């Protein structure tokens, strides 16, 4: 899926069709449900799929699902708060890099840009 509006490309692991016909994206994680709750990176990933799906459908998805390896599911509402968080994160990610990255063991492992960051802390 591609969205010109959001400038995003991606594909959820699954699409679930609700009884009213709306589609819901499902992101499957092999790990167990994190003790500290849904990480920001997982939440933003589902928000991105929700934005992609919303752009393609006449009936916006009401929520997205995260399904963890231990069977736990987290339902993430697709509301104005979620749209705002995704928009703010994308705007931050698209800002030119200013060279001020401060990698560290506390922040990098939890950072949503860890995989793409050249400055990440690797120990």
Is 92 near ligand SF4 (CB under 6 A)?
A: no
d(CA 55, CA 74): 23
DSSP state string for 89-102: HHHHHHSPP-S---
CB 81 within 8 A of CB 89: no
Nearer to ligand SF4, 63 or 114 (CB): 114
DSSP-H helix ranges across 1-123: 40-56, 80-94
Site string for ligand SF4, 95-114 (x = CB under 6 A): ------x-x---xx--x-xx
Residue 48 CB, nearest distance to ligand SF4 (Å)? 17
Binding region for ligand SF4 (CB under 6 A): 101, 103, 107-108, 111, 113-114, 117, 119-121
């Amino acid at each position: 899926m591609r969205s010109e509006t959001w400038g995003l490309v991606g594909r959820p692991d699954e699409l679930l069709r609700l009884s009213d016909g709306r589609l819901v994206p499902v992101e499957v994680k092999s790990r167990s449900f994190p003790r500290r709750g849904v990480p920001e990176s997982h939440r933003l990933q589902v928000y991105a799929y929700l934005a992609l799906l919303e752009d393609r459908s006449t009936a916006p998805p009401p929520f997205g699902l995260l399904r963890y390896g231990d069977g736990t599911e987290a339902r993430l509402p697709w509301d104005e708060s979620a749209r705002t968080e995704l928009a703010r994160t994308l705007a931050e990610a698209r800002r030119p890099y200013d060279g001020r990255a401060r990698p560290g063991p506390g922040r990098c492992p939890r950072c949503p840009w860890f995989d793409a960051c050249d400055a990440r802390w690797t120990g």
